[in-house]
Structure 1
Amino acid sequence: MLDDFMTRATLAGVGVAFAAAPLGCFVVWRRMAFFGDATAHAAILGVALSLALNISVFAGAMAVALIMALVVTFLAGRGYAMDTLLGVLSHSALAFGLVAVSFLSGIRIDLMAYLFGDILAVSRSDLIVIWGGAALVVALVVWRWAALLTSTLSEELAYASGLDPKREQLILTVSLAITVAVAIKVVGVLLIAAMLIIPAAAARGFARTPEAMAVIATAIGTISAVAGLQGAYLLDTPAGPSIVCVAAILFAGLNLIGWRNRKGT
């Protein structure tokens, strides 16, 4: 079954949806959209370093994405406005990554594949990495779900409940770095933030509980991956952007339905 490239691509897309959707709910709740974008942009520098050092692209991308996330977390609130800090670090990391790639002599690299994804070229070993990373992210989110929710609602409430909000932020940061690393092959660094945010944002208007929002977001992400791949196959369009386009269409359609329901009541 895994000999078929479309089957491998579909499994990869679903794996990324399972990791990105529940994590994306916290990104939306905490208004961390630019934080996720900055972490994703840093991954291209990790790709360049991993190729230069002849190590796993997954390991390099995750390490640099994690360093970026930790630096942003450390500098936030120390005289730097968060949006300004994210803008500087995000675009700087992407620029340094692109420049670093240009110095890799003797190494053939399809830069577009890392920027916009190359899901159709996913191998069996890539599937193991993607699903292993997705399982780790889901396990972390499920394990710390109540604590993450409490810290998201209020830091004071978290302290009163005996929780450390900084530790929960670190867990969220690590999960985000893992998700970026596993998604880079599927949708690329420029579209990872979209897969984190759009399914969660689309689910927000239909969920009555945080758990329901995570489940609905996962379903939307999965549908986007499967339908986007089918659309790319039939229309001969880029697979990664096609997945994001389907997610955007679902977001618009679901919001229109929600608006009409609210207007009708």
Structure 2
Amino acid sequence: MLDDFLLRAALAGLGVALAAGPLGCFVVWRRMAYFGEATAHAAILGVALSLALSADIFVGTLAVALLMALSVSALAGRGMAMDTALGVLAHAALAFGLVGVSFLHGVRVDLTAYLFGDILAVGTSDLGFIWGGVAVVLGLLGWRWSALLTSTLNEELAHASGIDPARERLVLTVALALVVAVAIKVVGALLIVAMLIIPAAAARGLSRTPEGMAAGSVAVGALAALGGLSGSLMFDTPAGPSIVAVAALIFAALQMVPGARRR
């Protein structure tokens, strides 16, 4: 019989894999890895503000992640190079978050849990937030799937089809902020993007359709979550990094499949 905390950890990992899988495909297709990194780094600032204001961590993280993503889009719209805007805001948010936590007197904060995750400490209320966020992300992606694919393939084609690429970027921005908020408890702010990119990259070489790649990414993420959790318990290693390490091993193994890299 699984202990309750193990069951909660497994459900949390599977939830993150379910949301990060299809979203990670768009991150890979659109080359948004650095954008995701900036949004994830902002989560630490969200944690600091939540603790300072005695607010829920999920709400604070989501709000700051959304603000970060929208700020990057606004700066890019004003002509600033995207990588420059991302670099400035990502590291500034991380630095202000870490500095802000140091001013919280009387509050015990384990930054390691927020930087690298603490999946074994996931509670019932955390599961509610995680799966609620997963449902919203999957709903957004399912609702806009065709439009997102079209605008990802060719923005001119999207305009010709009556699709607004800016609106689809906003949908991805909201979905990305939600995934950051629900995943910080599982793999931490520094490893969230790995769970977006690695499963999608692993599934890419074996997939013939976008939907197949999304399903494969979910499968890889789920295997990584369960495998990393098992390895963490067996070898007494940090759970979040263990999950990402298993995902990386799966990616490496799939590269050995004949024809995978060409496809």
TM-score, normalized by the shorter chain, greater than 0.5:
yes
Equivalent AA in structure 2 for residue 145 of structure 1: W
SS in 2 for 1:168: helix
Give the Cα separation in 1 of the matches to 2:119 and 2:22. 21
Query: How do 1:1-265 residues align onto structure 2 when only pairs under 5 Å count?
Result: 4-258=4-258
Equivalent pair of 1:28/1:200 in contact (CA under 8 Å): yes
Q: Matched residue of 2:255: which SS?
A: helix
Q: Report the 3-state secondary structure (helix = DSSP H, G, I; strand = E; otherwise coil) of the residue aligned with 2:257.
A: helix
Structure 2 distance, partners of 1:33, 1:261, is 20
Partner AA of 1:234 in structure 2: M
| Residues 1:100 and 1:261: Cα distance change in structure 2 (over 3 Å) | closer
Whole-Å separation in 2 of the counterparts to 1:203 and 1:173: 23
TM-score (norm 1): 0.96
Amino acid at match of 2:46: G
Deviation at 1:38, TM superposition (A): 0.3
The alpha-carbon deviation at position 2 of structure 1 amounts to 8.6
Query: TM-score, normalized by length of structure 2?
Result: 0.97
1:4 Cα offset (Å): 1.4
Distance in 1 of aligned mates of 2:155 and 2:118: 40
Identity of aligned residues (%): 70
Deviations 1:91-144 (A, max 9, x none): 111000000000111111111000000000000000011011011101110110
1:79 positional shift: 2.9
Structure 1 residues 140 and 260: alpha-carbon distance in aligned structure 2, compared to 1, 3 A threshold: closer
Counterpart CA distance in 2 for 1:99 and 1:258 is 49
The count of aligned residue pairs is 263
CA distance in 1, matches of 2:154, 2:60: 34
How far 1:87 moved relative to its partner?
1.2
* Residue identity in the other structure for 1:84: T
Q: What is the distance in 2 between the residues matched to 1:104 and 1:261?
A: 49
Following TM superposition, by how much is the alpha carbon of 1:82 offset from its aligned partner in structure 2, in angstroms? 1.4
Tell me, yes or no, if the aligned pair for 2:206 and 2:260 is still in contact at 8 Å. Answer: no
* 1: CA distance, partners of 2:58 / 2:115: 14
* 1:158-178 CA-partner distances (Å, limit 9, x unpaired): 110011111111011000000
User: Could you tell me how far 1:246 is from its partner in structure 2?
Assistant: 0.3
CA 1:79–1:110: 2 relative to 1, 3 Å = same
**Matched-pair contact (CA < 8 Å) for 1:2–1:8:** no
| Separation in 1, partners of 2:224, 2:92 | 31
Structure-2 separation of matches of 1:45 and 1:187: 17
C-alpha distance in 2 between matches for 1:125 and 1:18: 19
Counterpart AA for 2:186:
V
The CA distance in 1 between the partners of 2:105 and 2:94, in whole Å, is: 19
State the alpha-carbon separation in 1 of the partners of residues 2 and 103 from structure 2: 36
